[in-house]
Amino acid sequence: MAKSYKNFIAGEWVAAEGGASYENRNPADHGDQIGTFAASGPGDVDRAIASALEGFRMWSRVPAPRRGEALKRAGDIMTEKKEELADGMTREMGKPLVETRGDVQEAIDTAYYAASEGRRLFSHTAPSELPDKAGFVLRRPAGVFGIVTPWNFPIAVPSWKIFPALLCGNAVVWKPAQDTPWSAVQFVEILVEAGVPPKAVQLVTGFGSEAGAPLVADERITGVSFTGSTEVGCRIAGVCGANGKRVSLEMGGKNAQLVMDDADLELALEGVLWGAFGTTGQRCTATSRLVLHDRIHDELVGLLVERASKLRLGDGRKKDTEVGPLVNEDAREKVETYVRIGQEEGATLRAGGRRPEGLDEGWFYEPTIFTGVTPSMRIAQEEIFGPVLSVLRVGSLDEGLEVVNGVRYGLSSSIYTRDVSRAFRAIDRIEAGITYVNGPTIGAEAHFPFGGVKDTGNGHREGGWPVYEFFTDMKTVYVDYSGRLQRAQIDTWSPQ
């Protein structure tokens, strides 16, 4: 019998109302059932928010450095459990162990960053325009936040939201992706073990429409931090906008790697293999377009096709696996649809384009490369979220930058060149939240801002320090110690 996992509400592990549950399977092996998980509904979300409001009242009074100590312990526990977590995460969502270890490490880094932020939470002060008067700004806990996350970084992405939210003294109600509830249960167990008061953290697993929708629409929350598709994110933003709630959105991407004719081609090759096929292409920052200068196009495509065809597919828990499965059958069918679209649009299939032989027990798909892609094709415009790379050919830096920018998204980007002027022109002109020079589009570090422009985001950033702005309220304080009524803008100081 597969193990049955529950929600975490009001400090207890409890089944969903009415006992509703769903099963979750290993994407590399359909026969391997990970467990059954609570399929939560509005009633569960309602109780979770009520309890989080109580948790907020208590946790928000704990001094920030003390809150940071609990998050430091969470980082320590994750460090001890890194292998165990990585193994379970790979079993749950498929990417190879080397990547799930990195996923856990990112959460550890984020925990330690948050812990140290407990002794900063810096704010501003400025001189008053009046004599004997002081002005400064405090950062205050803001309330209860709804946290809605995707499955591709089952611990790292939640950590970017939950650790800063808690450090700032807020409570959270978390609806993780339906495909990665096991990882979410581990995360919450670690927080509680680390000493975060149980009511400050609530977990409601289940489906977006049944558990996510009532969470983001509840009037009692202060705001929502969301990572996922642009479609769902914009819908959530509509609900939050109508309710006057703040919302932070990290959404889709169609990231490009631009390779100029003066680039180190070996380096560019390693970069695109990792960027396009790491996590089976299921990263928001995945390289899904390769934009090649005409003069190196054929040589790089030749090398790339050869190397991509040799990537070892398999169960991510096996030592020599380089590429794992897609997360579920729907994701694989979406990839198949786009491969068909690419062929109908007239692009040339140079590698992959099919399910691999001998791996029928999982949702595998071969690393796929299209050449002859033009900027207006759907495979050059739409997020596929799988191991499909579209190669476009350009004749100059200007044309390359135009192609790179010619999509609705703006998350990550990359240029390979040895020419410093070209590199800086690209840094200046690429419309994206992240630009790499001589590195692939993936590989964010926890202490730098992370996020995108255009339809990728709504102006907020995670990672590093800006996320602490989102999760706090500012209070401006004026202290007048003159002993008389001083009127700003009216009583002016003049030299005697």
Q: Residue 456, interface with Mg ion (CB under 5 A)?
A: no
Give the nearer residue to ligand NAP in terms of CB position, either 112 or 409.
Answer: 409
Residues 6 or more apart whose CB falls under 8 angstroms from that of 428 comprise none
Give the nearer residue to ligand NAP in terms of CB position, either 343 or 381.
Answer: 381
d(CA 154, CA 93): 8
Give the nearer residue to ligand NAP in terms of CB position, either 88 or 451.
Answer: 451
**Catalytic site residue from 210, 284, 336, 462:** 284
Shortest distance, CB of residue 281 to Mg ion, whole angstroms? 17
Shortest distance, CB of residue 491 to ligand NAP, whole angstroms? 50
Residue 24 interacting entry, from ligand NAP, Mg ion, none, C-beta within 5 to 8 Å by type: Mg ion
**Catalytic site residue from 106, 117, 250, 383:** 250
- 34 closest CA partner among 73, 79, 87: 87
Shortest distance, CB of residue 24 to Mg ion, whole angstroms? 4
Is 250 catalytic? The answer is: yes
Give the nearer residue to Mg ion in terms of CB position, either 37 or 59.
Answer: 37
The residue range among 23-31, 108-116, 170-178, 191-199 that interacts with Mg ion, by the rule CB under 5 A, is: 23-31
Shortest distance, CB of residue 95 to Mg ion, whole angstroms? 12
Residue 139 interacting entry, from ligand NAP, Mg ion, none, C-beta within 5 to 8 Å by type: none
> Are 225 and 470 a contacting pair, CB within 8 Å?
yes
**Residue 303 to residues 225, 367, 374: CA-CA distances in angstroms?**
41, 14, 21
The residue range among 18-26, 61-69, 255-263, 384-392 that interacts with Mg ion, by the rule CB under 5 A, is: 18-26
Shortest distance, CB of residue 202 to ligand NAP, whole angstroms? 15
Q: Name the site residues for ligand NAP (rule: CB under 6 A).
A: 148-153, 157, 175, 177-178, 207-209, 212-213, 216, 227-229, 232, 235-236, 250-253, 284, 383, 385, 411, 452, 456
CA angle 328/88/471 to nearest 5° reads 85
Half-sphere exposure of 312 (CA within 13 A, CB side): 10
> Are 216 and 246 a contacting pair, CB within 8 Å?
no
Give the nearer residue to ligand NAP in terms of CB position, either 256 or 394.
Answer: 256
Residue 251 interacting entry, from ligand NAP, Mg ion, none, C-beta within 5 to 8 Å by type: ligand NAP
Is 168 catalytic? The answer is: no
Name residue 227's beta-bridge partners. 250
Signed CA dihedral, 339, 150, 4, 38: sign only: negative
Which residue shows structure tokens 């996923």?
A: 103
Decide: helix, strand or coil at residue 68: helix
Residue 463 interacting entry, from Mg ion, ligand NAP, none, C-beta within 5 to 8 Å by type: none
Signed CA dihedral, 296, 302, 306, 311: sign only: positive
Residue 286 interacting entry, from ligand NAP, Mg ion, none, C-beta within 5 to 8 Å by type: none
Site for Mg ion in 173-192 (CB under 5 A): 179
Shortest distance, CB of residue 208 to ligand NAP, whole angstroms? 2
Q: Residue 24, interface with Mg ion (CB under 5 A)?
A: yes
Give the nearer residue to Mg ion in terms of CB position, either 25 or 254.
Answer: 25
> Are 470 and 248 a contacting pair, CB within 8 Å?
yes
Give the nearer residue to ligand NAP in terms of CB position, either 426 or 432.
Answer: 432
Decide: helix, strand or coil at residue 144: strand
Phi (first) and psi of residue 445, to 5 degrees: -105, 145
The token pair that represents 218 in the structure block: 């509840």
Residue 209 interacting entry, from Mg ion, ligand NAP, none, C-beta within 5 to 8 Å by type: ligand NAP
Give the nearer residue to ligand NAP in terms of CB position, either 308 or 327.
Answer: 327
Shortest distance, CB of residue 288 to Mg ion, whole angstroms? 23
d(CA 55, CA 93): 31
Return the C-alpha torsion angle 14, 17, 20, 25, nearest 10: -40
Residue 292 interacting entry, from Mg ion, ligand NAP, none, C-beta within 5 to 8 Å by type: none
d(CA 396, CA 406): 15
d(CA 110, CA 426): 29
Q: Residue 287, interface with Mg ion (CB under 5 A)?
A: no
Shortest distance, CB of residue 224 to ligand NAP, whole angstroms? 8
Q: Transcribe 165-234 into DSSP letters.
A: HHHTT-EEEEE--TT-HHHHHHHHHHHHHTT--GGGEEE--S-IIIIIHHHHH-TT--EEEEES-HHHHH
Shortest distance, CB of residue 411 to ligand NAP, whole angstroms? 6
> Are 204 and 40 a contacting pair, CB within 8 Å?
yes
Q: Under rule CB under 5 A, how many of the chain's residues touch Mg ion?
A: 3
Give the nearer residue to Mg ion in terms of CB position, either 28 or 104.
Answer: 28
The residue range among 19-27, 234-242, 342-350, 458-466 that interacts with Mg ion, by the rule CB under 5 A, is: 19-27
Give the max Cα distance, the chain. 91
Helix, strand counts (H, E) of the chain: 15, 21
Which residue shows structure tokens 């630009």?
A: 435
> What b/e string do you get for 112-125 counting C-beta neighbours within 10 Å, with b at 16 or more?
bbbbebbeebebee
* Contact residues: Mg ion, CB under 5 A: 24-25, 179
Would you please indicate which residues are annotated as catalytic (active-site) residues?
250, 284
